[in-house]
């Protein structure tokens, strides 16, 4: 058995595929999900492949569930090697048409949830002087996307949060931080995002924003048809990138998961594609 890993949001998509892939590669996997009734798919794969995966309840918006699950793992393992913050939810709506409850929710799931779980594991990683926190953000955490200001704002926040921790926690305590930055992924995400966003009439943008939204959508669709490289990966492909990052001796601060994602963000990332130069520069001031 290699290291242990706790993963959030394993009921579907990247989280589910990561749980399976890490277990197939001999990690002890703690696959967490907010609703255990959604464990059927994972349970089936565990049985069929005799995998070392334990499923536990964890809602990233509920600190009590986070602490209780982390404590359960620490009691069994004595340490946590890898935290994979994967849980997230899409949201595409104009700021003007979003209410306060929605603003709080998008931020809570996509940003504050990452802060909570990281805060819960850090003391354990610090005391064992080892660990790796891997946060799944998005190309939308580097490049602001139309009609995605709240989701992108939350993902940008995770990028800043992670970059800051890497700047002073990594070296003294041997805790690595990595950001996984996918483009599109063919998962439940889009369906859930539309469900989270559309109004009773099934519209995603209304009033003066509606024509702009429709222009944006048709432009994106026609660009996608012309492009040689697909914007979409499978959840398994993204999980493979995450495994590679976990197994790298000096892991990168940030990694795009596809050529499409790399191209879209290159204006911002080409000076320091994996973020290593930036961390080294900040470290050079004081460490």
Catalytic residues: 151
CB-nearer residue toward ligand NAP: 138 or 265: 138
Check binding of 11 to ligand NAP (CB under 6 A): yes
H helical segments located in the chain: 13-24, 40-49, 63-77, 100-107, 113-128, 149-168, 170-173, 189-197, 209-226, 235-246, 259-269, 276-286
3-state secondary structure of 202: coil
User: Who's near 56: CB < 8 A, 6+ residues apart?
Assistant: 30, 31, 32, 69, 72, 73
Q: Which of 42, 56, 70, 185 binds ligand NAP (CB under 6 A)?
A: 185
Q: What angle do CA 93, 184, 235 make, to 5 degrees?
A: 120
Instruction: Rule CB under 6 A: say whether 109 interacts with ligand NAP.
Output: yes
Residue 124 is classified by DSSP as H
Binding range to ligand NAP, per CB under 6 A, among 44-52, 179-187, 244-252, 263-271: 179-187
Rounded Cα gap, residues 2 and 15, in angstroms = 19
Q: Which of 3, 5, 6, 9 binds ligand NAP (CB under 6 A)?
A: 9
Q: Which of 57, 174, 192, 198 binds ligand NAP (CB under 6 A)?
A: 192
Size of residue set near ligand NAP by CB under 6 A: 29
Which range in 58-66, 167-175, 219-227, 278-286 contacts ligand NAP by CB under 6 A?
58-66
Indicate whether 89 belongs to the interface with ligand NAP (CB under 6 A): yes
Is residue 13 involved in binding ligand NAP (CB under 6 A)? yes
Distance of CA 93 to the CA centre of its chain: 20
By CB under 6 A, name the binding residues for ligand NAP: 8-9, 11-15, 33-35, 38, 59-61, 86-89, 109, 136, 138, 182, 184-185, 187-189, 192, 235
């Amino acid at each position: 058995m290699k290291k242990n890993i706790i993963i959030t949001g394993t009921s579907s998509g990247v989280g589910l595929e990561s749980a399976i892939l890490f277990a197939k590669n001999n990690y002890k996997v703690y696959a967490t999900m907010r609703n255990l009734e959604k464990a059927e798919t994972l349970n089936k794969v565990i049985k069929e492949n005799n995998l070392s995966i334990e499923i536990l309840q964890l809602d990233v918006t509920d600190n009590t569930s986070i602490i209780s699950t982390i404590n359960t793992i620490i009691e069994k393992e004595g340490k946590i090697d890898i935290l994979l913050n994967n849980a997230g939810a899409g949201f595409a709506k104009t700021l003007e048409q979003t209410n306060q409850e929605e603003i709080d929710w998008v931020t809570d799931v996509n940003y504050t949830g990452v802060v909570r779980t990281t805060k819960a594991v850090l003391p354990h990683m610090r005391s064992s002087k080892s660990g790796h926190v891997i946060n799944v953000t998005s190309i939308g955490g580097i490049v602001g996307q139309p009609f995605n200001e709240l989701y992108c704002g939350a993902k940008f926040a995770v990028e800043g949060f992670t970059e800051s921790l890497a700047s002073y926690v990594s070296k003294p305590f041997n805790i690595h931080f990595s950001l996984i930055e996918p483009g599109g992924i063919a998962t439940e995400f889009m369906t859930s995002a539309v469900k989270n966003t559309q109004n009773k009439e099934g519209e995603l943008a209304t009033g003066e924003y509606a024509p702009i939204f429709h222009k944006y959508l048709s432009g994106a669709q026609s660009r996608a048809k012309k492009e040689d490289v697909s914007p979409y990966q499978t959840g398994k492909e993204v999980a493979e990138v995450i495994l590679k990052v976990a197994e790298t001796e000096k892991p990168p601060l940030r990694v795009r998961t596809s050529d499409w994602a790399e191209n879209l963000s290159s204006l911002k990332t080409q000076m320091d594609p994996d973020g290593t130069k930036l961390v080294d520069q900040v470290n050079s001031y004081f460490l």
